[in-house]
Structures are given as structure tokens and as C-alpha cells.
């Protein structure tokens, strides 16, 4: 069975970058931690919420790299000198990546009750009508 690509459709011109983004997103290695929600907050805005209990603002980093929103968390190991009878809460790190469409901008990020909220907005595209003159050859 051959793999269908966007290049297989002759009327879909210039979408090679979208195909690369989809492949990169599939390979991003996002596991199940931390859990997250994505909600649409208006016609042109979204909110990503990650459950980051135990992380402080200084333990988190949010960057946009090549149209990908990358959220990283790294907790320090504060167990030195402590004796645990049971340790079910481990200090762990994570990296979550979200591919952003053109025109989607990252707004503010807010920590609230162990949840990290990241707001996104999408610019409204302008409708452009262009008339192409036909020259005689």
C-alpha cells in the first residue's frame, strides 16, 4: 500500500509545509503526562490547560519554536535528607508540543490552582480578491 501525500493531489499546491508539520507532530513523542485540555474560548481564541500540580512557575518554560508551542517542565529533586516510607509523587520532567497554524499567536500564560493556562488567538484572515490580467501571446 502506498502512502498518500498532499503532493498526490494536483489541486493542493504549496501545502508541503503542512505535511511536514503533521509528520513532525505525529513524531513529537507526546506521552500522557501531563494531562491537558484544549478549549475554544471564542471564534478566534483557544486555551490550552495543563495539569502541572507540584510545579512552580520557575519549573516551567514556554517557547514557540518553528510554529510549535513547546511547554517544558522540570522539577528539582528535593528529597535529600528526607526519608520516604512511600514515594508515589515523583519529581519528573515533561515536554508537550502543539503545532500552531499560521496566524495563531501565543498570548499570556497563567498558573492557577495547579493548572497552567496558555491562551492562543488566531488572526482573522483578510479576504483578498486579485484579478489577473491575461496577455496576448
Q: pLDDT digits over 45-103, tens only? A: 999 999 998 899 999 999 998 889 999 999 877 778 889 899 887 778 999 999 898 88
- C-alpha span between 19 and 24 (Å, rounded): 9
- C-alpha span between 33 and 99 (Å, rounded): 17
Asked if residue 36 has pLDDT above 80, the reply is yes
Higher pLDDT, 107 or 6: 107
Asked if residue 29 has pLDDT above 60, the reply is no
pLDDT at residue 28, as a whole number: 57
Judge if pTM exceeds 0.75.
Answer: no
pLDDT at residue 4, as a whole number: 62
What is the DSSP pairing of strand 68-74 with strand 60-65?
Answer: antiparallel
Higher pLDDT, 40 or 2: 40
Asked if residue 110 has pLDDT above 70, the reply is yes
Q: Which fold would CATH assign to domain 8-122?
A: Immunoglobulin-like (2.60.40)
pLDDT at residue 3, as a whole number: 61
pLDDT at residue 62, as a whole number: 98
Q: What does the mean pLDDT of the chain come to?
A: 85
Amino acid at each position: 500500500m502506498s502512502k498518500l501525500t498532499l503532493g498526490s493531489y494536483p489541486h493542493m499546491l504549496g501545502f508541503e509545509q503542512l505535511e511536514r508539520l503533521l509528520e513532525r507532530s505525529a513524531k513529537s513523542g507526546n506521552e500522557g503526562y501531563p494531562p491537558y485540555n484544549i478549549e475554544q474560548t471564542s471564534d478566534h481564541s483557544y486555551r490550552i490547560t495543563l495539569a502541572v500540580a507540584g510545579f512552580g512557575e520557575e519549573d516551567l518554560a514556554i517557547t514557540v519554536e518553528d510554529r510549535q508551542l513547546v511547554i517544558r517542565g522540570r522539577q528539582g529533586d528535593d528529597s535529600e535528607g528526607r526519608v520516604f516510607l512511600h514515594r508515589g509523587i515523583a519529581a519528573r520532567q515533561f515536554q508537550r508540543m502543539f503545532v500552531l497554524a499560521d496566524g495563531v499567536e501565543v498570548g499570556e500564560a497563567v498558573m492557577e490552582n495547579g493548572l497552567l493556562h496558555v491562551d492562543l488567538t488566531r488572526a482573522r484572515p483578510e479576504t483578498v480578491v486579485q484579478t489577473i490580467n491575461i496577455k496576448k501571446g
